[in-house]
Structures are given as C-alpha cells and as structure tokens.
Structure 1
C-alpha cells in the first residue's frame, strides 16, 4: 500500500473553506469589481451594519475603489485571496504582503455580512497564515486595526494575535481611506508568531 502524501497546511485550510461552501482563488483583474463591492459591504455604508465588522459609525465614504484595488493587485510583493460561494458570489477576501524581517502583513480581511458567523473569517485567517509561511517563509504575521474597534481586536486576540504596543496615525485628510466621523482614530498593531 502506497502512503498518500499529506496535505499542506494551505490545502488543509482550503478544505475547511470548501466544507462551508467556499472556494478560494488568487484575485485577478476580472475580480476587481466584485472585490471592491465585497470590501464595501463588509466595512462601510448602511448594508455593512448587518454584520459586526462595520466601520460605518466611525468612517463614511469609501473603503476601497477600483483604482486602489488595481494598485494592490499590481504590487509584486503581495497577494489577495478571494473566496466565492457556490453561486459564484464574492463572500470573503484577505490581502497579504511579503515579510519584512520575517513578519508578513495581513490586511483588508473582509467577510460579507451575509457570510459572517459561519467560520469563514477564521478559516480565511488560517489560510492566510499558512499561505505566507508556505510561499514566503514568514515566521509571524502583523496587522493594524483601528483602536476603537475593541470587538474586532478581541476577535483577533482570540486567534492568537497580541497588541505590540505600537500605534500608527490614521491618514486624516486622505479621502481614499474614508471620511472620519470622529477625530481620535489611530491604528494599533497586532502580531502573531507562526509555526
């Protein structure tokens, strides 16, 4: 009897996502419109308030537009993973950037309000962590979260992320990132060792 090769961690996470009816692929230019709509639905506007990840009470305006998404896609040192459901609808995505000093970056994790509460976000985080370790040799993952998003920070902490003590300013005055509704926004940095 021949031993079956064991699945890689990336394949194992893809299987978890398939089990909840989601397929993952690397974003292409043909996906840009769906990607922008997905990110907007998860973070901004009235529709985002159906889910718990909304930023609509802190920020108005756009979260992402087509040209910004195209710029992200064109980056040589990053990857965007897009999840589609069985009907082909974009339901989740995550952006990862190659490591600096072993630390990859996770950003723009978006799960459609209709897809939240089904384990898709957690499974996608696991896939992103496995992906950066397997493809880029990352030894840790970093991310930045708006400090006022305590529920979201707690969500990441339950998944092994810790506050680093570092903060970054919010880009006030740059409407590409939204229209602040409060004047004390900043980002806290979180980190998690991988492996």
Structure 2
C-alpha cells in the first residue's frame, strides 16, 4: 500500500471513511503521510504543519514498527476508497489513553476528517483499552492546534515537558522556545 490522495474521478473523494489497525505492510505509507502532514513544502497545504518550528524528520519506519509491536498500542488508519487519508497512534501509557502521531493528508485538513479520526481513537482508548482519560502532548506554541483540541473537550493540564533539543528523532528545532504541553480529556 502507498500513501495517495483520494481520487475525485472514481468517487474516492466522497467515499465513507473506513478505519483499520495498521500492520507492518503499512509502515512506508504511514511514514509518508506523517511526513507530508508535518514537514517540508507539502505540509504547508494544511494547517497542522510544523515546518516553521522544526526541520528534519517527524517519524521513521523504526518508530512506527515500535508502536505496532507495543502491547495495548495500535496505529489507527483511515481510508477514503483506496487512499490512506489519516492516521493516529493510540495506546495505553501511564494509566491513560495516549493519542499521538495524528496526521491528516494536508489537502483534506479542515474537512471534518480529523474530528472523525479523533473520535474513533477516543472510542478505542475507552472501549478497547478500558481507559477513562485520553492524553497527548502538543508543542505549546501551537495555539491554533491547542484551541482545536479544546473545542473537542481537551483541557490544558498545565504540565509542561521539555523539548528534546539535540535528539533529531524529534526533529531539528528552528527556534529555542519549544516545549510540550500535556492535554487531557475524560472519556
């Protein structure tokens, strides 16, 4: 499977959203989707880009495979027709659901697709993993993104975590004031 945009000509653009858990065969497509949503020129077609904050990679095949191999962890995939249009990592971490690596194909952002993926991830954390809370970390200077999560019931916990400067697995910072903030929602 490869990452691609839905095809308007064959109806894939309007096809219903279909979810499934990723397998090792999906890793390359997941990496391509995540990179397109956060890094480089392609990410600027959407509003979730981190291209002004970070350079370098957002993820790689090893990171995705590690998420697939963890107990109580999956990478949720969302398809329209044959096209992979979104993904998110859903897991159990520190006694709560964890939500991360959330990526929507940049030209489909602001279409409501992200809300559907987030709702499915919350359902998995609650119903499949038995978690009462979902947590995530967001770079704290991403005000528009934090506001989007707040509109979906997440609250700022006030807990800040340092950005791992010098560890290029998280990207190459383009500014010196990055930190993570923990957001949380009762499920």
TM-score normalized with structure 1 length: 0.86
TM score, norm. by length of structure 2: 0.89
Residue of 158, 170, 173 corresponding to 1:177: 170
Distance 1:189 1:119, change over 3 A: same
Matches of residues 132-143 of structure 1 in structure 2 within 5 Å? 132-143=125-136
1:80 matched to which residue of 2?
75
Matched, 1:95 2:84: no
Spell out the pairing of 1:139-178 with structure 2 (5 A cutoff): 139-178=132-171
Q: What is aligned with 2:118?
A: 125
Q: Please state if 1:48 is matched with 2:31.
A: no
Contact persistence 2:139–2:180 (CA under 8 A): yes
- Would you identify which runs of 4 or more consecutive aligned residues in structure 1 move more than 3 Å? none
Structure 2 CA distance for aligned equivalents of residues 99 and 66 of structure 1: 21
TM-superposed deviation, 1:178? 0.7
Local SS of the residue matching 1:107: strand
Equivalences, count: 174
Q: Take 1:21 and 1:43, find their aligned partners in 2: how far apart are those partners? A: 25
Q: Considering only aligned residues, what root-mean-square deviation do their CA atoms show, in Å?
A: 1.2
User: What is the match of residue 186 of structure 1?
Assistant: 179
Query: Is this contact kept in 1: 2:72–2:129, CA < 8 A?
Result: no
- Mark the runs of 5 or more structure 2 residues left unpaired by the alignment: 1-13
Larger Rg: 1
